[in-house]
Chains A and B, each alone.
Chain A
């Protein structure tokens, strides 16, 4: 919509300059250009009809004739120049002492004047700690090597029980001990918190005797102990890259040892044979292919010092007159010598025990690791698969146990084949309740044990029988070759055999077997041992359940005896008139109506039974449910059930016949 449209709508006559403002190339368009180009100079206004788009144009057109005389000029939008007031801080490439000899440069904040010309110590210098290993002259060496290694034997005994894991830990400890000694020696020692830590880890009283003795050694051979620094510097050159702090060293050494072990396994494969041979030998000195000379020991200690007891490096660099030594040999010698050294210093040093190197254990450990790591991918996969499989089995077994338990619980629950009707009366309910309660207690007892496996039971029975038979067969020749093949002996066997042949090991038969045996014992002096031994096993091998059965039977017997004792004054007639009866069955104690104890069946069967009873013109409930009648009724019902079963089979056969035809 343009202004002309509005004019049209309002019926205002235009000034007849142009029909539309849009198309006019006059002043209108010029000013349009002025707005759109914005920053450009006003000269551009003259440019022919610059494109105006969007709302702007429409808004502009609304102005109609009254176009502004002044062109609006937007201000420039350039970025303002930075007006930062802060001064730049100076950084200088200052020199610093990487170690005692080496001077390097690094960038430090601060001006040159501030730092001064002196090369500063590196902030990491404090971590550059080294162990000081004992040093000795040849005379000293020979002196203390001559001493008997009494601790060694004691420690060997002690160490045999310890596992390899401990031993690796021990190496660390040894290093720490060494280190600690160095610390006490060093008067100028900058004690870092880490070294303090190691100290506190060790027994504090160990520190006390050390300085004295170490001072002594220093006095003796000050030239040897002091120039630690020189050696240190050498160290640095050798393994420049590892200017790691001591803590790292300690922590790493764990992994390092393991990884090193694995890496050297390949290296030492050739040597394993030698090592295996050495396993048998007692002391490390005996197993040396070449005797250790003082020079070699000194060389070894030098290497140890140089490489901070990094054994794999040491063994790699080791080349003394072409003697081949395994890493274990080196270690053994090192620890043996240093132990003797410290022993000569202070025999009661409590840290001496930590200088133990159980060679056998180490070799064993290595072998184990080797075997573990030399497994092929297939073997590893197989192992994993086996583990997974075993897990599965475990889970499956657990599940099965639970399922079986629940199944047993279901089986244990009261039979549902009886009609519900008998539980409808309050008496019935109370009976049901009591029976359920009894069930519950029984179940609880049952839960404690694993559900019995019927197959296992069967198996056990078979095994038992077999053993019994075997024993009997073993006995038989004895008897026949015995002094007198008595007639009673064979008869006793005949008595003993049949029960064994039967597939029963119930408590009922077992005692009978023993009874027959003992009877024979008393009758016949010739075969006491025979029958006695042959029959003895069964009662011993009774399962828990059988024992329980026997117990309950025993209890029942005493109960019966008690009851009989009570009733001994009454004769049969009196008993009947008093309504007393003895029963063998297990009935829940309590009162009930005789008629409620007549058997009932599943509804379908019940109806059939009723049908049969009706056919026989007998009442469903006997008119006079006395004991005798009810017993008879039970008999009848049993027969009726058999009858209905037969009817069912006949129906089934008929149906089959019909199908086959």
Chain B
């Protein structure tokens, strides 16, 4: 473990929201000059802050591992914006590896994103841009002091208050989400009560 090793601050975790995903579009007449003939789509995979804010103060580099059939299938992006545009004809899992800044002394975070080129509803082909975007949060559990200070320099956890087309992930969505889950919980609770009653009935029946 190279890098500055300093004490981890216990019981604290710092989270940073990130948005990742891909956009895809059918290629029309405007093909990039070097695109192979069989490629039908042009797509972009990206990793960014919810409001496109700077995340390079804690992310050093992002590595996208593409399908093996691509030349140089491991693409390393060293500076923001952490995105990659390619052409292709098929969907596959892209391995995203986030390298954090040296002082964080954190391991590489790796996850997969399934590249989406086609809309769910295949019946009506649309020329619109296809989006497959996810919200997630990077949780730095017990960061070391130096990194903690770095993270404290910017209020990185801010979300837009309202949904926009540009960025659906907002406080509004969060509240909606919570409401939805709450509804779910209520529903489940209701069912539980019903079932409890049934169980009691059955137990009474038995003797």
Contacts and interface: CB of A to CB of B under 8 A. Distances in A.
Interface of A: 425-427, 430, 556, 559-560, 562-563, 566-567, 574, 576-584, 587-597, 612-613, 616, 618, 622-629, 632-633, 635-636, 639-640, 642-643, 646-647, 649-650, 653-654, 656-657
A587 B199 contact: no
Nearest to A584: B11
Contacts of A576: 157
B46 interface: no
A118 to B, nearest CB: 101
A593 B137 contact: yes
Contacts, number: 182
B202 A592 contact: no
Contacts of A591: 100, 104, 106-107, 109, 138-141
Contacts of B159: 626
B206 A556 contact: no
B11 A643 contact: no
Interface stretch (B35-43, B80-88, B147-155): B147-155
Contact of A588 (B141, B155, B174, B178): B141
Given A591-B140, A623-B173, A628-B178, A636 B184 contact: yes
A632 B181 contact: yes
B129 interface: no
Closest 5 CB pairs of A and B: A579-B157, A559-B10, A594-B137, A589-B142, A577-B155
Interface string B5-40: 000111111111100000000000000000000000
Given A425-B110, A591-B109, A627 B15 contact: yes
Given A592-B139, A622-B177, A650 B185 contact: no
B119 interface: no
Contact of B199 (A559, A592, A653): A653
A623 B131 CA distance: 14
Instruction: Give the secondary structure class of B's interface.
Output: mixed
A349 to B, nearest CB: 77
Contacts of B191: 643
Contacts of B79: none
B142 A616 contact: no
A642 B193 CA distance: 11
Contacts of B184: 613, 616, 618, 636
Contacts of B100: 591
A647 B195 contact: yes
B158 A590 contact: no
Most chain A CB neighbours (cut-off 10 Å) among B108, B138, B151, B195:
B195
Contact of A580 (B14, B17, B185, B188): B14
Contacts of B181: 618, 622, 629, 632-633, 635-636
B111 interface: yes
A104 to B, nearest CB: 97
A635 B155 contact: no
B122 interface: no
A563 to B, nearest CB: 5
Contact of B112 (A425, A624, A628, A635): A425
A283 B107 CA distance: 87
A626 B137 contact: yes
Contacts of B57: none
6 contacts: A559-B10, A574-B155, A592-B139, A595-B136, A613-B184, A625-B136
Contact of A579 (B9, B15, B182, B195): B15
Most chain A CB neighbours (cut-off 10 Å) among B136, B182, B199:
B136
B138 A593 contact: yes
Interface string B64-106: 0000000000000000000000000000000001001000101
Given A579-B157, A593-B111, A587 B141 contact: yes
A653 B203 CA distance: 8
Contacts of B139: 591-594, 597
